[in-house]
Amino acid sequence: MRVYEFQAHRIFSQKGIPSPPGEVAETPQEVKQIAEKLGKPVAVKAQVLVGGRGKAGGIKLAPTPEKAQQVAQQILSSPLKGVPVKRVLVQEALSIKEEYYLGITIDRAQKKVVVMVSPSGGVDIEEVARSTPEKIFKIHVDPLLGFKSYQANELALALSKDKNLVKGITRILFSLYHIFVEMDCSLVEINPLVVTEENSLFALDAKIIFDDNALWRHPEVSSLRDIDAEDPLEVRAKEAELSYVRLKGNIGCIVNGAGLAMATMDLVKHYGAEPANFLDVGGGASSEKVGRALDIVLSDERVEAVLVNIFGGITRCDIVAEGLVQVISGKNMDLPLVVRLAGTNEEEGRKKLESIKRVFLATTMDEAAKKVVEVVKG
Amino acid sequence: MSILVDSDTRLMVQGITGREGSFHTHQMLEYGTRVVAGVTPGKGGERVDGVPVYNTVKEAVRDTGANTSVVFVPAKFAPDAIYEATDAGIKLIVCITEGIPTLDMVKVCYYVKMKGSRLIGPNCAGVISPGKSKVGIMPASIYKEGRLGIVSRSGTLTYEVVYNLTRANFGQSTCVSIGGDPVIGSSFIDILELFEKDPQTEAVVLIGEIGGTDEEEAAKFIRSKMKKPVVALVAGKTAPPGKRMGHAGAIISGGEGSAQQKIKTFQKFSIPVAESPLQVVDLVRSILSGGS
């Protein structure tokens, strides 16, 4: 789960990581008042959960409160990378001498927490990693020992030789590490951590991604979720305990299992169409759950046909068919539905669907994908 | 032969009295797996399908000589169950449980390895050596004994591939589902190494998906360390960056983990990549002559 920059800054400041003075605003008027209060030139930053905000015009500098109000008007009135901007963060614009990168994540290959720093902060860090990997310094944390002082010291020394700054960076690295492990994060990042002309350190940006699997032990984190910013269909799916991601195509997909769901989408694409969604009904789905899945897929107005691909193990094909029939008979569905059932009780499942208008039965996954593309393309 | 599990496997089921645990214990017994013990704290003395239930792993091992464990314990308690099995000297632990926090798994994987045990999963379908032993939740009827090794990050996609292979008369030596989480006990390489040494296995099918770089590492390993042929399938070509596709580990982030990148790496090392689960059969046919 991602949170907004201003939320991440709040968590940072609770752990003693300094952020530039600033506040969140929802209207240009508020932005002006905050800028007046700060009494300095400000940066107005769109609060959205997508990356590459700066490049997309979501961050603007303003020397005066009036100018701040004006740029806030612009930022708040137009969507950023397709996402409406509801809030902006207004921060004092600092005079910057240096920009560093600090980040902590999980190195999947090493199966360890990795703490990374770079003297080339402020830019796309992936680009730095690609073009000048020698500018990224990494330390893996022993899972039983934890992050040690000497490691923080080594990393800080890779960024600066200034005694005070090394001390400050070390402290910030420890705070970041504590946030990472205590709150079960999958990423915490400061890009950039800046050194001002006055030789002070500030986290100019703040990014935290939490591990969804650990949210049950962090109710304080779950409460930061902004449901309004999420796709309404994805919210409905989550409530129904379905794993669903909305995409841009017109072929709705209902599959059991994440791997098979992705392979099914790939096959739709292979035969020349685009999937409208990823949807995994999970193992051993009930007919109600399958029904809710079909309901959600049909609620996406881009969907022109639905492909159901079930490989029954613990999932029973007859129960899946029942769930589909309940929804189809309940509403006047005029969209074609291509269904492929294999495995446990496939015959019983097929029988339930055989006589239904607009339902096409397929025996293999390939045949099903080909068929659904064909019915859409006419 | 075969790898990891066979007729010498003496299985213990952790979480045997739960809904999943008891259901799959029945299924595994039906398949012929020697399920010798179950563990659920507080339920010692009971029986599930005739299998004695113990309060602790230590007791279960002492009384029954269990040498392998399968974990069905809920995510909150699964790390503790794995530690318990490790400390009781179990050398192979298969964790089916989904939804364990990643940082818990970082510690678990490290500890299990330090103690010299092997962990498969979590969030996996388990391991089956057809005709010998099934340790997991896969539908047994689609498997057939043979000479193909299968290693996969997903469950149902593996069933799909196995179903097609069996119908085409290509049986399997062992099928290992390593799990869909970011941090897992055994990676592709750990399993490929075993298949390379196993006399029954003549070729391997590797089923990967988006997220991480495990497939890329596997490709390098296959090229430099393996003589047996490998066929790959990678799911998630249509997955957009930043969106988690069901599995906690299936996410393209930081320019890393796309299906295209993985496919390109396999191709660079001359490892054939199938376009679809069905095409895996054609590729296997082209590297092996005829049926099993």
Q: What is the pLDDT of residues A344-363, one digit of tens each?
A: 899 999 999 998 888 999 99
Q: What is the pLDDT of residue B43?
A: 97
Phi and psi for A83 in degrees, rounded to 5?
Answer: -110, 125
Taking only the tens place, the pLDDT of each residue in B142-173 is 999 999 999 999 999 999 999 999 999 999 99
CATH of domain B10-120: 3.40.50.720
B77 inside 8 A of chain A by CB: no
Question: Using CB atoms within 10 A of its CB, is residue B61 exposed (0-12), middle (13-18) or buried (19+)?
Answer: buried
Pair of tokens at residue B255 = 């320019």
**A&B contacts, CB < 8 Å:** 172
Q: What is the pLDDT of residue B291?
A: 44
Q: What percent of chain A has pLDDT over 90?
A: 84
The whole-angstrom separation of Cα B245 and Cα B68 is 31
Given B217, B235, B278, which is nearest A109 (Cβ)?
B217
CA distances from A301 to A233, A238, A241, A251, A296 (A): 11, 19, 22, 11, 10
Domains of chain A (ranges, CATH numbers): 1-19+95-229 (3.30.470.20), 21-93 (3.30.1490.20), 231-377 (3.40.50.261)
Rounded to the nearest 10°, the torsion over CA B182, B186, B188, B191 is -170
Taking only the tens place, the pLDDT of each residue in B251-264 is 888 778 999 999 99
State the pLDDT confidence band at B289, using cuts at 50, 70 and 90. Answer: low
Rounded (10°) angle between helices B214-225 and B188-197:
30
Taking only the tens place, the pLDDT of each residue in A281-337 is 988 889 999 999 999 999 999 999 999 999 988 889 999 999 999 998 877 778 999
Pair of tokens at residue A17 = 């990581």
B10-120 and B138-287: same fold? yes
The whole-angstrom separation of Cα B150 and Cα B165 is 11
Amino acid letter, A110: Q
Query: What Rg, from alpha-carbon coordinates, does chain A have?
Result: 25
Average pLDDT over residues A44-71: 92
Q: What is the pLDDT of residue B292?
A: 45
Helix residue spans in chain A (DSSP H):
5-14, 28-38, 65-77, 125-131, 149-159, 163-182, 219-222, 232-239, 258-270, 287-299, 317-330, 346-353, 365-377
Domain ranges of chain B: 10-120, 138-287
The reply to whether residue A259 touches residue B213, judged by beta carbons under 8 angstroms, is no
B97 inside 8 A of chain A by CB: no
Pair of tokens at residue A259 = 């791997």
Q: What is the pLDDT of residue A377?
A: 87
Average pLDDT over residues A135-143: 96
Using alpha carbons, select from A89, A126, A68, A97 the residue that is nearest to residue A12: A89
Contacts of A186 in chain B (CB under 8 A): 102, 182
Q: Across chain B, what does the average pLDDT equal?
A: 95
Catalytically annotated residue among A98, A189, A322, A346? A189
The whole-angstrom separation of Cα B163 and Cα A38 is 67
Amino acid letter, B251: I
Taking only the tens place, the pLDDT of each residue in A212-254 is 999 999 999 999 998 888 888 999 999 999 999 999 999 999 9
Q: Is the pLDDT of residue B221 over 90?
A: yes
Architecture of domain B138-287: 3-Layer(aba) Sandwich (3.40)
The whole-angstrom separation of Cα A283 and Cα B42 is 28
Cα angle B91, B95, B100; round to 5: 130
Decide: A276 and A249 in contact? Cβ < 8 Å: yes
The whole-angstrom separation of Cα A93 and Cα A42 is 5
How many CA atoms lie within 13 Å of A285's alpha carbon, on the beta-carbon side? 30
Average pLDDT over residues A20-27: 96
Q: What is the pLDDT of residue A271?
A: 95
Catalytically annotated residue among B185, B247, B248, B283? B247
**Is the whole model's pTM more than 0.90, yes or no?**
yes
The whole-angstrom separation of Cα B45 and Cα B36 is 14
